Amino acid sequence: TPVTVSRHRDWYVKTGASYRFARSVNAVPLMSSEFAAASAEYALVFAGDERVMPSAILGFRQQENLYVGDGGAWRARYIPAFIRQYPFVLAGGEDDKTLTLCLDEEFEGCNQDGHGERLFDADGEQTTYLRNVLGFVQSYQADFRRTRTFCDRLKELDLLEPMQARFRLPEGSVGLTGFKAVNRDKLKALAPETLSELARNDGLDLIYAHLHSMRNFDRMVELARERQAEPALTN
């Protein structure tokens, strides 16, 4: 719902350490500025056909997030910005001149009882909290455009290929498809001037962060095994 003073004058948002709202999200968009931190804990891949964007894989199956514990705690040090901006989001296409700040009113922390941070003051002016939210989502949108440019370049260079992988979990083998990864051989075959260009605009750093992040699938297998064992530990 668009955030307006007429509707949300008396609304508060209480956020905390619980990420239960994301427990059914098995992948989230990732911006280029997040690659360095995120690649240490997540497998970073690319999703989409006509237009591709980076994604952090959070689960092997649909509606599975291995990084959210039973109590709602996030099981990694770095939390993707897409998750951190919730329950707010800017609505509209990336080419729109005007984007609208929206709020998921079904978020459990939304209330009119004075719990958490108020959106508007008694005079109907934006609070410092709401201004900070606006700044965060606007920065995220700007990073979205930079990330889109990077992904367009990968596609122009024909570096991306469909990825398929299988993993052995406690309850059996599971396959992961529908994503793309950079082909190492195609990367090595690029002309020197193209590699130089990628180095100058930090594209190579992003590519290598993506490639190195694939080892985090092993971490996901560990998280799946830990989750499988949790009920036995609590009985």
Predicted model pTM: 0.87
Average pLDDT taken over every residue of the chain: 91
The enclosing H or E element of 89 equals strand 88-91
DSSP SS3 for 110: strand
81 neighbors 31 (Cβ within 8 angstroms): yes
Residues of the chain with pLDDT under 50: 232-235
- CA dist 31 to 42, 43, 153, Å? 13, 14, 15
Q: Using one digit for the tens of pLDDT, what is the confidence trace for 113-126?
A: 999 999 999 999 99
- CA dist 221 to 204, 226, 227, Å? 28, 9, 10
Q: What is the pLDDT of residue 96?
A: 57
Q: What is the pLDDT of residue 97?
A: 66
Helix pair 192-200, 203-213: axis angle to 10 deg: 90
Round to whole Å and give the CA distance between 113 and 105: 14
DSSP SS3 for 56: strand
